[in-house]
Amino acid sequence: DRDVTSVVLMGGKSNFSAGADLTEFGKILASSGESSGDGFFPLVELVHKIENFPKPVIAAISGNALGGGLEVALSCHYRVSDASGKFGLPEVHVGVIPGAGGTQRLPRLVGVAKALEMILTGAPIKSKQAKALGLVDHLVDANGNETLLEAARKWAEWAALMPLEGRRVGLRPLKESTKELQFIFGAAAKKLPPLAMGGEGVHAALEAVKACQLPVREGSKVELEQFFVTLNGTQGKARRHAFFAVRKAQKPLGKPPAGHAL
Protein backbone atom coordinates (compact mmCIF):
# COMPACT_ATOMS: atom_id res chain seq x y z
CA ASP A 1 0.00 0.00 0.00
CA ARG A 2 1.67 3.24 -1.13
CA ASP A 3 -0.28 5.23 1.47
CA VAL A 4 1.43 3.33 4.30
CA THR A 5 4.70 5.04 5.17
CA SER A 6 5.51 3.16 8.39
CA VAL A 7 4.05 0.57 10.78
CA VAL A 8 3.59 0.50 14.56
CA LEU A 9 3.30 -2.87 16.31
CA MET A 10 1.66 -2.69 19.72
CA GLY A 11 0.36 -5.27 22.17
CA GLY A 12 -1.95 -4.87 25.14
CA LYS A 13 -1.57 -2.75 28.27
CA SER A 14 0.17 -5.44 30.31
CA ASN A 15 1.96 -7.31 27.53
CA PHE A 16 3.60 -6.46 24.26
CA SER A 17 3.92 -10.22 23.94
CA ALA A 18 4.90 -12.70 26.63
CA GLY A 19 6.06 -15.29 24.11
CA ALA A 20 4.89 -18.70 22.98
CA ASP A 21 2.14 -20.78 24.51
CA LEU A 22 4.08 -23.72 25.96
CA THR A 23 1.25 -26.10 25.15
CA GLU A 24 2.08 -25.50 21.48
CA PHE A 25 5.46 -27.18 21.90
CA GLY A 26 3.80 -30.57 22.06
CA LYS A 27 2.04 -29.88 18.77
CA ILE A 28 5.34 -28.89 17.13
CA LEU A 29 6.89 -32.15 18.30
CA ALA A 30 3.94 -34.17 17.05
CA SER A 31 4.12 -32.47 13.66
CA SER A 32 7.86 -32.43 13.13
CA GLY A 33 9.20 -35.43 14.99
CA GLU A 34 12.98 -35.21 15.05
CA SER A 35 13.26 -32.72 12.18
CA SER A 36 15.06 -29.40 12.25
CA GLY A 37 11.73 -27.62 12.38
CA ASP A 38 11.67 -26.13 8.89
CA GLY A 39 8.11 -25.16 8.10
CA PHE A 40 6.85 -25.86 11.61
CA PHE A 41 7.91 -22.62 13.30
CA PRO A 42 6.26 -19.72 11.44
CA LEU A 43 7.65 -17.12 13.86
CA VAL A 44 11.09 -17.65 12.28
CA GLU A 45 9.88 -16.44 8.90
CA LEU A 46 7.75 -13.70 10.47
CA VAL A 47 10.73 -12.00 12.12
CA HIS A 48 12.70 -12.13 8.86
CA LYS A 49 9.75 -10.56 7.02
CA ILE A 50 9.45 -7.78 9.60
CA GLU A 51 13.17 -7.07 9.52
CA ASN A 52 13.24 -6.96 5.71
CA PHE A 53 10.01 -4.98 5.36
CA PRO A 54 10.68 -2.04 3.03
CA LYS A 55 9.07 0.49 5.38
CA PRO A 56 10.06 1.20 8.99
CA VAL A 57 8.42 -0.93 11.68
CA ILE A 58 8.29 0.46 15.23
CA ALA A 59 7.60 -1.75 18.25
CA ALA A 60 5.58 0.09 20.91
CA ILE A 61 6.28 -1.89 24.08
CA SER A 62 4.33 -1.86 27.30
CA GLY A 63 4.74 -4.63 29.87
CA ASN A 64 6.33 -7.92 28.93
CA ALA A 65 8.37 -8.42 25.78
CA LEU A 66 9.57 -11.91 26.56
CA GLY A 67 10.65 -14.89 24.51
CA GLY A 68 9.08 -14.74 21.08
CA GLY A 69 7.72 -11.32 21.97
CA LEU A 70 11.23 -9.94 22.36
CA GLU A 71 12.29 -11.70 19.16
CA VAL A 72 9.53 -9.84 17.31
CA ALA A 73 10.63 -6.54 18.88
CA LEU A 74 14.25 -7.24 17.88
CA SER A 75 13.18 -7.68 14.28
CA CYS A 76 11.56 -4.23 14.26
CA HIS A 77 13.59 -1.26 13.10
CA TYR A 78 12.91 0.86 16.21
CA ARG A 79 11.75 0.06 19.74
CA VAL A 80 9.82 2.52 21.91
CA SER A 81 8.89 1.52 25.46
CA ASP A 82 7.16 2.92 28.50
CA ALA A 83 8.38 2.47 32.06
CA SER A 84 6.59 -0.85 32.47
CA GLY A 85 8.58 -2.55 29.71
CA LYS A 86 10.33 -5.79 30.66
CA PHE A 87 12.63 -7.58 28.21
CA GLY A 88 13.99 -11.10 28.34
CA LEU A 89 14.54 -14.49 26.77
CA PRO A 90 13.48 -16.87 29.58
CA GLU A 91 13.34 -20.06 27.48
CA VAL A 92 16.03 -21.90 29.47
CA HIS A 93 13.62 -22.04 32.42
CA VAL A 94 11.36 -24.36 30.45
CA GLY A 95 14.11 -26.42 28.89
CA VAL A 96 14.45 -24.85 25.44
CA ILE A 97 16.31 -21.95 23.85
CA PRO A 98 15.13 -19.00 21.74
CA GLY A 99 14.16 -20.25 18.30
CA ALA A 100 13.24 -17.15 16.26
CA GLY A 101 16.47 -15.18 16.10
CA GLY A 102 16.88 -14.13 19.72
CA THR A 103 20.36 -15.62 20.00
CA GLN A 104 21.34 -13.90 16.74
CA ARG A 105 19.92 -10.39 17.08
CA LEU A 106 20.26 -9.68 20.80
CA PRO A 107 24.10 -10.03 20.73
CA ARG A 108 24.28 -7.62 17.81
CA LEU A 109 22.27 -5.03 19.72
CA VAL A 110 23.44 -5.20 23.35
CA GLY A 111 26.78 -6.96 22.96
CA VAL A 112 27.60 -10.65 23.17
CA ALA A 113 28.48 -10.75 26.88
CA LYS A 114 25.23 -9.13 28.02
CA ALA A 115 23.18 -11.17 25.57
CA LEU A 116 24.77 -14.39 26.86
CA GLU A 117 23.98 -13.36 30.43
CA MET A 118 20.33 -12.75 29.58
CA ILE A 119 19.96 -15.94 27.53
CA LEU A 120 21.84 -18.32 29.86
CA THR A 121 20.11 -17.06 33.02
CA GLY A 122 16.74 -16.23 31.49
CA ALA A 123 16.71 -13.09 33.65
CA PRO A 124 14.76 -10.12 32.23
CA ILE A 125 15.77 -6.48 32.34
CA LYS A 126 13.60 -3.40 32.83
CA SER A 127 13.05 -0.64 30.34
CA LYS A 128 15.54 1.81 31.86
CA GLN A 129 18.39 -0.69 31.56
CA ALA A 130 17.18 -1.69 28.10
CA LYS A 131 17.46 1.94 27.03
CA ALA A 132 20.99 2.21 28.45
CA LEU A 133 22.02 -0.94 26.56
CA GLY A 134 20.59 0.28 23.26
CA LEU A 135 17.84 -2.34 23.18
CA VAL A 136 15.26 0.47 23.42
CA ASP A 137 15.58 3.56 21.24
CA HIS A 138 13.17 5.78 23.18
CA LEU A 139 11.76 5.58 26.69
CA VAL A 140 8.49 7.40 27.27
CA ASP A 141 8.66 9.75 30.25
CA ALA A 142 6.39 8.34 32.96
CA ASN A 143 5.75 11.89 34.24
CA GLY A 144 5.05 13.36 30.83
CA ASN A 145 1.82 13.87 28.95
CA GLU A 146 2.76 11.71 25.98
CA THR A 147 1.31 8.21 25.72
CA LEU A 148 3.23 5.23 24.39
CA LEU A 149 1.20 5.17 21.19
CA GLU A 150 1.68 8.89 20.63
CA ALA A 151 5.44 8.53 21.06
CA ALA A 152 5.54 5.53 18.72
CA ARG A 153 3.59 7.42 16.06
CA LYS A 154 6.02 10.34 16.24
CA TRP A 155 8.93 7.94 15.80
CA ALA A 156 7.10 6.28 12.91
CA GLU A 157 6.60 9.63 11.17
CA TRP A 158 10.27 10.50 11.66
CA ALA A 159 11.47 7.03 10.61
CA ALA A 160 9.51 7.28 7.36
CA LEU A 161 11.85 10.09 6.33
CA MET A 162 15.02 8.23 7.28
CA PRO A 163 16.91 5.45 5.47
CA LEU A 164 16.54 1.93 6.85
CA GLU A 165 20.22 1.22 6.36
CA GLY A 166 21.71 0.20 9.68
CA ARG A 167 18.32 -0.34 11.32
CA ARG A 168 18.00 -4.04 10.47
CA VAL A 169 19.52 -5.62 13.57
CA GLY A 170 20.23 -8.96 11.92
CA LEU A 171 22.49 -7.26 9.37
CA ARG A 172 24.54 -5.36 11.94
CA PRO A 173 28.11 -6.52 12.62
CA LEU A 174 29.09 -7.68 16.08
CA LYS A 175 30.81 -5.10 18.25
CA GLU A 176 33.46 -7.54 19.52
CA SER A 177 36.67 -8.68 17.85
CA THR A 178 37.35 -12.37 17.20
CA LYS A 179 39.76 -12.47 20.15
CA GLU A 180 37.18 -10.88 22.46
CA LEU A 181 34.56 -13.38 21.32
CA GLN A 182 36.87 -16.31 22.04
CA PHE A 183 37.42 -15.02 25.56
CA ILE A 184 33.68 -14.39 26.18
CA PHE A 185 32.60 -17.80 24.90
CA GLY A 186 35.41 -19.58 26.73
CA ALA A 187 34.58 -17.89 30.03
CA ALA A 188 30.87 -18.68 29.63
CA ALA A 189 31.54 -22.35 28.84
CA LYS A 190 33.54 -22.79 32.06
CA LYS A 191 30.55 -21.66 34.15
CA LEU A 192 28.02 -24.05 32.61
CA PRO A 193 26.92 -27.23 34.42
CA PRO A 194 27.86 -30.57 32.80
CA LEU A 195 25.47 -31.87 30.14
CA ALA A 196 24.45 -34.81 32.33
CA MET A 197 23.65 -32.51 35.26
CA GLY A 198 20.95 -30.37 33.69
CA GLY A 199 23.20 -28.55 31.27
CA GLU A 200 21.59 -29.49 27.95
CA GLY A 201 19.64 -26.24 27.59
CA VAL A 202 22.43 -23.82 28.45
CA HIS A 203 25.00 -25.67 26.34
CA ALA A 204 22.62 -25.53 23.37
CA ALA A 205 22.05 -21.82 24.04
CA LEU A 206 25.79 -21.17 24.04
CA GLU A 207 26.21 -23.00 20.73
CA ALA A 208 23.39 -20.95 19.25
CA VAL A 209 24.88 -17.64 20.41
CA LYS A 210 28.27 -18.65 18.97
CA ALA A 211 26.51 -18.84 15.61
CA CYS A 212 25.86 -15.08 15.71
CA GLN A 213 29.30 -14.81 14.11
CA LEU A 214 27.65 -16.12 10.92
CA PRO A 215 25.27 -14.19 8.65
CA VAL A 216 21.88 -14.01 10.37
CA ARG A 217 20.15 -16.55 8.10
CA GLU A 218 22.89 -19.12 8.66
CA GLY A 219 23.06 -18.40 12.37
CA SER A 220 19.29 -18.71 12.66
CA LYS A 221 19.48 -22.21 11.15
CA VAL A 222 21.97 -23.25 13.82
CA GLU A 223 19.74 -21.69 16.48
CA LEU A 224 16.69 -23.58 15.25
CA GLU A 225 18.62 -26.85 15.17
CA GLN A 226 19.67 -26.30 18.78
CA PHE A 227 16.11 -25.33 19.68
CA PHE A 228 14.88 -28.70 18.45
CA VAL A 229 17.69 -30.50 20.27
CA THR A 230 16.38 -29.04 23.52
CA LEU A 231 12.73 -29.48 22.58
CA ASN A 232 13.30 -33.20 21.93
CA GLY A 233 15.74 -33.68 24.81
CA THR A 234 14.75 -35.50 27.99
CA GLN A 235 15.90 -32.63 30.21
CA GLY A 236 13.76 -30.13 28.33
CA LYS A 237 10.71 -32.37 28.52
CA ALA A 238 11.31 -32.87 32.26
CA ARG A 239 11.54 -29.12 32.86
CA ARG A 240 8.28 -28.47 31.02
CA HIS A 241 6.57 -31.31 32.88
CA ALA A 242 7.69 -29.78 36.18
CA PHE A 243 6.56 -26.32 35.02
CA PHE A 244 3.05 -27.52 34.24
CA ALA A 245 2.91 -29.58 37.44
CA VAL A 246 3.71 -26.52 39.53
CA ARG A 247 1.15 -24.44 37.62
CA LYS A 248 -1.50 -27.09 38.23
CA ALA A 249 -0.61 -27.34 41.92
CA GLN A 250 -0.93 -23.56 42.31
CA LYS A 251 -4.50 -23.49 41.03
CA PRO A 252 -7.00 -22.78 43.82
CA LEU A 253 -8.93 -25.76 45.06
CA GLY A 254 -12.66 -25.93 44.59
CA LYS A 255 -15.12 -25.34 47.40
CA PRO A 256 -14.69 -28.10 50.01
CA PRO A 257 -17.65 -30.37 50.82
CA ALA A 258 -19.90 -29.32 53.68
CA GLY A 259 -18.33 -30.08 57.04
CA HIS A 260 -14.81 -30.29 55.64
CA ALA A 261 -12.47 -27.44 56.46
CA LEU A 262 -9.24 -26.78 54.61
Please identify every residue annotated as catalytic: 71, 91
Nearest to 106 by CA among 71, 139, 131, 137: 71
Compute the distance between CA of residue 47 and CA of residue 210 in angstroms, rounded to an integer: 20
Crossing angle of helices 42-51 and 68-75, in 10° steps, is 20
Residues 68 and 43 sit within 8 Å (Cβ to Cβ): yes
What 8-state DSSP symbol labels residue 212? G
Give me the count of residues in the chain: 262
Compute the distance between CA of residue 121 and CA of residue 111 in angstroms, rounded to an integer: 16
Name the 3-class secondary structure at 202: helix
Name the 3-class secondary structure at 65: strand
